[in-house]
Amino acid sequence: MFLTNLFSTLPWPLIDVVMNVVAGLGAVMLTYGIFLEAERHQDGVFVIASACLLVYALWIGNKIFSLAMAGLMIGGLIELVEILTGRHKHGN
């Protein structure tokens, strides 16, 4: 029943398929980033994942989701730049 309803709306516009793939990729990468041990790699994955999800959030027009992903992307980017330039410090 579900598949019949799902495929009855085909063909989907290409941009819809692309946006859903980008969103799915971002969600998978965000989850994967949590399990990474190397902080530099983790921040890089977070930046890419949040950028993917930001594009999707803008596409669907969700302002709160867009703001959250922009904040995560900017935070991850700042931390990644700090790590790469040797300015990153851990406060204990």
Structure confidence at residue 39 (pLDDT): 80
pTM, full prediction: 0.81
* Lookup result for tokens 């959250």: 68
Q: Contact at 8 Å (CB) between 71 and 77?
A: no
Mean of per-residue pLDDT scores for the chain: 88
Name the residue ranges covered by the structural domains of the chain. Answer: 13-85
Residue 31 CA to residue 38 CA, distance in Å, equals: 15
- Say if residue 13 is exposed, middle or buried (CB neighbours under 10 Å; 0-12, 13-18, 19+): exposed
Q: What pLDDT digit, counting tens, does each position of 23-60 carry?
A: 999 999 999 999 998 888 899 999 999 999 999 999 99
